[in-house]
Structure 1
Amino acid sequence: MTREFWASNICLLGLQAAAVALPRGHSLPALERLAARLRSPWWALVPLASIALVVWAVNAEGQTADALTWLALIAIPPLAAAALGWTMHGGRPSLALLAIPLFALAWQAREELPGEAAASLLVMLSCVTLGVLLVSVAPHGWLKVGIVLMAVADAILIGAETLQPASTVLNAAAPPAELPQLQRAHFGHAVIGYGDYFIAGVFGALVAAEGRRQGRIALMTLAFALCFDVLFIWLDTLPATVPVALALLATEAASRRRRARTRQ
């Protein structure tokens, strides 16, 4: 791996850690009332389904990649605007308008670093919103299991070389008129899949909802990711969901140790 790859990859991992640090712990009262009606343990399967079903669908039918590309192009800008305006720390309605210049930059400079950075930022911000929404309707304990299962599935699919063909097709899919590709985060010489940011957004929303120190846990997630990515010396593809799951397990273990000391 080249120095350019490592530099690009570190930037993308920094955005993944930001997806852990940014989600707010509380949603709007109107959403909370709606979420109370929709609340179900079945939502905890969304992280696992987001990778397993997508890989299966893309491998089974190539046109699925085009459909997902269009879905990302349509859904991600408003989801990112929602993060800027509401679902992230410091978000306020006026900031939602920043999604417009970010999209314009991602479009006009799509093959240059500023455009790639803008597109990756939109992807990350959309995952902040999705994380907050999912945490509002899924029981936290079940959702933690879902995060771990997603990471396990990711590792298995990569080990079986089932994910790589689907990723190649999905990453290559492009909308017309040179519109930006928002179905993955691409910066310089590195690419991270949408699911890798999605799982970070869900984890960050869980951390926020439970009142834990997001900044510290985000840095721990980044540290796990940087250590894990040393494996790129020997491997071409790694499951970037695994460091997030490791950070979750480490956080839960530390929490249990604190509770045990309190009982004593």
Structure 2
Amino acid sequence: MALPFIPSDAGLLALQAACVAAPRAIPRLRVAERLRGPAWGLVPIGSIIVVVFAIRFVSDTATGLTYLALVAVPLLAAVALGWAARGSRPVAALGAVPLFIIAWIGHTSLVGGAAASVLSGLSCVTLGVLLAAVTPPRWLKLGIVAMAAADSWLVISDLLQAPNSTLVAAAPLGHLPQLQSEIFGTVSMGYGDLFVAALLGAVLAANPRRQWSAALLTLGIAALFDLLFLVVNELPATVPVALALIVVEAGSRIRLWASAHSASGLRETGPRAPAASTARHPAGSI
């Protein structure tokens, strides 16, 4: 019996929120500093637009991406467990091996789908941390919002559905796991939906409190957003991530403004020392 929609959707939404919470703040890397620049902020929007139109107009793109994911996702997941994720330890990188085996052996089962989805999520954590290391925060935040806008445009204009179906249907030989998209129960989510979540977590990783707030906001907004599935069959799952970013940024700016306003008020209303008299008196007067 297939897992019903609600628990299937809840599982993937929890994974997306975990991708926000998982990235850690890494030390500055010399090679990353040399490569650092605002142009990297185009990667998020470029990743979705290039992939969608490549699948539409270039034959076998979906198959190529399937095999690329089959090789890259487990390796990137190992890097996340060993270095890029919070709580990572070098020896934990070996955890990617049993996850891959479970995803392979149980490729038609719920457990296998869960293992494959976790591998994909972990790989996105590594990509998010690496991209955050070479992109100024402001430009990466703009990139997240731009990716969500492009995703929405592709869904509304009906340009995403066909390429997405082609990509989801592509399968490697030998019953190897499909790691190019996430399927859990009766719900599927694109790789980019986890990637953008990991980008949000990585750009906020220096402030764990804001990062966790963003993760919880992503989960809550996505749960409300998915109520639209009652009337539509496909939604841009990048949108809740962008909305969570906007809410976190707005909250931070409001707190800064309130703090500055409060400090200014204290300076204006605080006790004042008596002013020194400047009056002149005739000599000998009291």
- The interval holding the TM-score normalised by the smaller chain is over 0.9
Query: Which residue of structure 1 lines up, in the alignment, with residue 157 of structure 2?
Result: 160
Matched, 1:13 2:10: no
Query: Which residue of structure 2 lines up, in the alignment, with residue 41 of structure 1?
Result: 38
Q: What TM-score results when the alignment is normalised by the length of structure 1?
A: 0.96
2:128 touches 2:202 (CA, 8 Å); kept in 1?
A: yes
Task: Note the 1:101-140 alignment, pairs <5 A.
Answer: 101-140=98-137
Query: Which residue of structure 1 lines up, in the alignment, with residue 23 of structure 2?
Result: 23
- Give the letter for the 1:188 counterpart: G
Deviation at 1:206, TM superposition (A): 0.7
Deviation at 1:261, TM superposition (A): 1.1
Q: 2:80 aligns with which of 75, 80, 83?
A: 83
Deviation at 1:97, TM superposition (A): 0.2
Query: Which residue of structure 2 lines up, in the alignment, with residue 231 of structure 1?
Result: 228
Q: Which structure: larger Rg?
A: 2
Matched, 1:245 2:242: yes
Query: Which residue of structure 1 lines up, in the alignment, with residue 91 of structure 2?
Result: 94
- Give the letter for the 1:116 counterpart: G
Partner Cα separation in structure 2 for residue 234 and residue 171 of structure 1 = 22
Partner Cα separation in structure 2 for residue 217 and residue 69 of structure 1 = 30
RMSD, aligned CA: 1.2
Partner Cα separation in structure 2 for residue 46 and residue 176 of structure 1 = 30
Q: Secondary structure at the match of 1:258?
A: helix
Q: What number of residue pairs does the alignment pair up?
A: 260
2:103 touches 2:111 (CA, 8 Å); kept in 1?
A: yes
1:62 touches 1:169 (CA, 8 Å); kept in 2?
A: no
List per-residue Cα deviations over 1:50-101 (Å, max 9, x = no partner). Answer: 1011001000023000111111011000100011111111100111001000
The structure whose residues are more often helix, as a share, is 1
- Which gives a bigger RCO, structure 1 or 2 (Cα 8 Å, sep 6+)? 1
- Give the letter for the 2:37 counterpart: S
Deviation at 1:5, TM superposition (A): 1.2
Deviation at 1:3, TM superposition (A): 7.8
- Give the letter for the 1:166 counterpart: P
Q: Secondary structure at the match of 2:205?
A: helix
- Give the letter for the 2:4 counterpart: E
- Give the letter for the 2:36 counterpart: R
Partner Cα separation in structure 2 for residue 105 and residue 175 of structure 1 = 16
- Give the letter for the 1:16 counterpart: Q
Partner Cα separation in structure 1 for residue 223 and residue 233 of structure 2 = 15
2:17 touches 2:215 (CA, 8 Å); kept in 1?
A: yes
Q: Secondary structure at the match of 2:234?
A: coil
- Give structure 1 regions of 4+ aligned residues with deviation exceeding 6 angstroms: none
Over the matched positions of the two proteins, sequence identity in percent amounts to 52
2:19 touches 2:198 (CA, 8 Å); kept in 1?
A: yes
Task: Specify every segment of 5 or more residues in structure 1 that has no aligned partner in the other structure, as ranges.
Answer: none
Q: 1:215 aligns with which of 212, 233, 240?
A: 212
Query: Which residue of structure 1 lines up, in the alignment, with residue 271 of structure 2?
Result: none
Matched, 1:256 2:249: no
Deviation at 1:210, TM superposition (A): 4.4
Matched, 1:190 2:187: yes
Partner Cα separation in structure 2 for residue 234 and residue 119 of structure 1 = 29
Q: Secondary structure at the match of 1:23?
A: coil
Deviation at 1:133, TM superposition (A): 0.2
Partner Cα separation in structure 2 for residue 211 and residue 192 of structure 1 = 26
Deviation at 1:213, TM superposition (A): 3.1
Partner Cα separation in structure 2 for residue 145 and residue 35 of structure 1 = 20
Q: Secondary structure at the match of 2:182?
A: strand
- Give the letter for the 1:127 counterpart: C
Partner Cα separation in structure 1 for residue 25 and residue 248 of structure 2 = 17
Q: Secondary structure at the match of 2:123?
A: helix
Deviation at 1:7, TM superposition (A): 1.1
Partner Cα separation in structure 2 for residue 150 and residue 248 of structure 1 = 13
